[in-house]
Amino acid sequence: MSVATERVLPPKSPLLPPAVPPSDPGNVPSADVSPAKLPHPPGPANVNRWAGLTWRHAVEFWLSPLQYATKLAHRYGDLTSFLLFAQRAYLVNHPELIHEYLVRRRDDYVRAPWEMRVVRQLVGNGILTSEGELWTRQRRLIQQAFRGSMLPRYVQVTVAGTQERLERWESGKVVDLVEAMATLMMDLSIRTTTGINPEVIGGPTPEDLSEAVIEGAHQMSREMAIPITPPAWLPLPSRRRKREAIAAIDAYVRTAIQIRRADPNAYHDLLAVLLRAVDEEGDGKGMSDQQARDEAATILIASAHSTSSTLGWFWKLVLAKPELYERLVEEVDQVLGDREPNLEDVPKLTYVTQALKETLRLFPAAYVLFARMPIRDTSLGGYRICRGGWMITMPWVTHRDPRFFADPLTFDPDRFSAEREGDIPKGAYFPFGHGPRICIGQQLAMAQLPLVVAKVLQQWRLEPQAGFDDLATHRELAIRPATPCKVRVTRRDAPLSRKPR
């Protein structure tokens, strides 16, 4: 089993309640209590508590982070502390504590410097990596590209691009839906972000860009797993591939920027909107070419990986339950009939959306949030948090907590029905992150995903093949299926018996 592949077993016992409930007002220390006087959160014993020689914790956390984090949460409760070598790490599991440190006390933390150093090499100083006023300004500008008035255009591109890909399938042939969805969503990410082809002559093609984004994200996810990585200039194969990926992304995006600068109103993709955006609440200026390049690279990488992994898991989970699959087909037939879907259909595809939300619960797009580092001694939940520690939050763990989700390992889309969704505790479900840095593209993702699913179900019958329901995970920027989801596809040429509503 490779480092990035993990089979996560069900827990042997339910999660233990925290020693002091986070909702207890007495759990939060008063302002005059020094954090140094508070105890460390509970956690596993160290090999040598004074020297911090905790190789076993580091190795287990590196090899099996999903299993290890789940085990710690089940044993020690909502806030766990453990040593990784000489560095103290904290695993935050409860929604109230997560909100406390990511929102109410966010000024006590910065994003982990080693992770940001790795990310900046690929996406520059974009919204993922910037801090303070620069981040606030960039988010205001980027929001203009994701406002509701832009969604119909992106949806049009999504439907057209999906149709083109589906037309390449052959009736009676076997298709790996994990690979097919990865290719499709990368294609859609390029189309919505930088257009189909910015008339590049003698430069990278969209296919080259796709390969560069995949390779760049792969290298980035590997390097973020450890605080120390080899310098980019070393003559190693991995360093060479990384340099080539960055060069291809730079060449493609910068050429696209030049073309849009030359004719600002000719394009309507995300990049064009970014270049036209003006910070009316701030300095009244727009983005520089470098800022636009960094934001475009960020969107390309983040959107393609998160949405493709979600669809890969979706098909594995849905096809394992034939009655659920048929219910989805029935809904798509009732809503669409044989016409093309559009943005107005998304709210009508209620069960499709429920199934996607449940997929994101079990396999969240952001299975672990970027680590934070306290810049001063502080406290959380009545415990001491040391300056320079590593704060880790994993939606994967919280989403599988039986206190928040009944029968948490069961795929049950009805838990997101109108009647039951209100039973989910506030903050217990956060597949796109939490707080001010929540994913800015989640509205677009939750419009694209149901429409892609609807197009597939509208046109093709899917017959699962052996091994399709293997749920082994592969960790990259997102949790991806480690095995294929092979299905035999048959075109649905017969007239639909249900009328669209």
DSSP state of 414: G
Q: Report d(CA 364, CA 430) in Å as an integer.
A: 8
Rg of the chain (C-alpha set)? 23
Range with the poorest average pLDDT among 80-94, 155-169, 423-437, 445-459: 80-94
pLDDT classification of 22: cutoffs 50, 70, 90 = very low
- The residue type found at 97 is L
pLDDT computed for residue 54 by the predictor: 74
- The residue type found at 439 is C
- Here the tokens at position 331 are 């809904």
pLDDT computed for residue 37 by the predictor: 87
Residues paired with 411 in a beta bridge: none
- Here the tokens at position 185 are 């969503």
pLDDT classification of 12: cutoffs 50, 70, 90 = very low
- Checking if the pLDDT of 390 tops 80, the result is yes
Q: What is the per-residue pLDDT across 161-203, written as a single tens digit (0 to 9) for each? A: 999 999 999 999 999 999 999 999 989 998 999 876 545 545 6
Is the pTM here over 0.95, yes or no?
no
- Checking if the pLDDT of 501 tops 80, the result is no
- Checking if the pLDDT of 8 tops 70, the result is no
> CA nearest 164: which of 201, 215, 206, 204?
206
Q: What is the per-residue pLDDT across 268-303, written as a single tens digit (0 to 9) for each? A: 889 999 999 998 888 888 999 999 999 999 988 888
Greater model confidence, 457 or 133: 457
485 is in an annotated binding site: no
- Here the tokens at position 30 are 């008063």
Q: Cα torsion at 20, 25, 27, 31 (round to 10°)?
A: 180
Residues paired with 175 in a beta bridge: 487
Neighbours of 67 (CB within 10 A): 17
Where does 225-267 have alpha helices with state H?
237-262
Q: What is the per-residue pLDDT across 59-82, written as a single tens digit (0 to 9) for each? A: 888 888 899 999 999 999 899 998
Greater model confidence, 336 or 34: 336
The beta-carbon contacts of 243-247 under 8 Å, at least 24 apart in sequence, are 244/212, 244/215, 245/122, 245/211, 245/212, 245/213, 245/215, 245/216, 245/219, 246/121, 246/122, 246/212, 246/216
Spatial contact of 488 and 460, defined as CB atoms under 8 Å apart: no
- Checking if the pLDDT of 145 tops 80, the result is yes
pLDDT computed for residue 18 by the predictor: 41
What phi-psi label fits residue 203: left (phi over 0), alpha (psi between -120 and 50 degrees) or beta?
beta
pLDDT over 90 percentage in the chain = 56
Mean pLDDT of the chain: 86
Domain map (residue ranges) of the chain: 1-113+370-398
Interval 203-225 mean pLDDT: 80
pLDDT computed for residue 283 by the predictor: 84
Q: What is the per-residue pLDDT across 441-497, written as a single tens digit (0 to 9) for each? A: 999 999 999 999 999 999 999 999 999 999 999 888 888 999 999 999 999 975 454
Q: Report d(CA 11, CA 71) in Å as an integer.
A: 7
pLDDT classification of 433: cutoffs 50, 70, 90 = very high
